[in-house]
Amino acid sequence: RLARMGAAGRYPVLLQGPTSAGKTSVIERLAAATGHVLLRINNHEHTDVQEYVGAFAPDEHGKLVFRDGALTTAVRHGHWVVLDELNLAQSEVLEALNRLLDDNRELHIPETGETLTPHAHFMLFATQNPPGAYGGRKVLSRAFRNRFLEMQTDEIPAGELTTILERRCAIPASFAAKMVSVMGELQRRRSSSRVFAGKAGFITPRDLFRWAERRPGTYQELAEAGYALLAERLRSTPEREVVAQVLCSLLPRVQLCAETLYERLLCGAPGGPPTAGPHEGGTVWLPSTRRLYALVAACMASAEPVLLVGDTGTGKTTVCQLYAQAAAQALHIINCHQHTEAADFVGGLRPTRGRTLQLEALRGRVAALEAEAASARA
């Protein structure tokens, strides 16, 4: 269906569906099959027009030049572009797209006054989750959506999801089938017990891929990996017990004991399991600390990003520091607050302070170096 829509080449395409339904993946596959370069823009509440169109930035000589954004680059060179999470973008971003989505198909760059006509091979795609079912998603106006060819995507059927897990993650077909059955049962229980929480509150297809990437070799390892991923992120004990019950009922010959799982994970952590006494620096390895350290070590072993959620003073940052020390890795800590911006993470332009003093110090070092070189020649 997407290939037929793209065959027209003129009309933008909007894919709407639940999370992890493969909306972006099918666009990437189609672009690769047709030999097109695909550029991707991830929208959020702070996305601005400059990320689409471009902005002035200094070149290698310090001169301000205009740098094309992803959308401008695609329009110029005939690439494909996908706008992820379109209904998270700000209103001014959507308004900037209107001219490109109209019949005249033009992109105006206010900073340079240039008006571009899209390359013949240019194609625009957009994806979004249904508004209302997902937090923060706005309802796009009917007039704006009418500019797209719209396609609804459904959840991946269980049979197809089993095949994807087996082939993509190289796990046995029996494991893949059991994992999909676990997901179905957890979603059924969530839908019946907490209607307003959504059936994806326990598990989504992305969790299945993360589960499979831990490469379990037995059903016992499969159950333990599933418990560590799915149950340990839940705050309430009854919900964790539900996950354990489902795993034990659907996976053959497994027994789950949280303490045994933590100790096994600690054996694979850098430096081995920590001792029970005080650690260097005064850290005491309480059971809660060992649990958190074991789960972080399991995530790090699979190269997974980690989000630690808990009350203040429960040792979240301390565990990260201890793991970095054990793994002999440098740890950078950024204290986030309401005024934290992207430049605090990736860097940005800042005015040079005390330039006169720095120049004088540089002249002094250069003069000393010249004097040293002259004395060496003499």
DSSP letters along 111-154, please? Answer: TTTEEEPPPTT-EEEEEEPPBTTBTT-----HHHHTTSEEEE-P
Average pLDDT (323-341) is 91
Q: Is the pLDDT of residue 104 over 50?
A: yes
pLDDT number for residue 328 = 92
* pLDDT at residue 196 in the model: 36
Q: What is the pLDDT of residues 263-316, one digit of tens each?
A: 999 998 988 887 655 555 667 888 888 999 999 999 999 999 999 999 998 889
Quick one: tokens of 195? 């209607």
- pLDDT, averaged across the chain: 88
pLDDT at 251 over 90: yes
pLDDT at res. 369 = 93
* 209-232 pLDDT tens trace: 999 999 999 999 999 999 999 999
Please compute the mean of the pLDDT values over residues 200-215 and round it to a whole number. Answer: 86
Confidence of residue 119 (pLDDT cuts 50, 70, 90): very high
In three-state secondary structure terms, 293 is: helix
pLDDT band (50, 70, 90) for residue 172: very high
Per-residue model confidence (pLDDT) at position 293: 94
Q: Convert the pLDDT of each residue in 30-64 to its tens digit.
A: 999 999 999 999 998 888 899 999 998 888 877 88
Rounded Cα distance between 330 and 299, Å, is 18
What one-letter code names the amino acid at 247? L
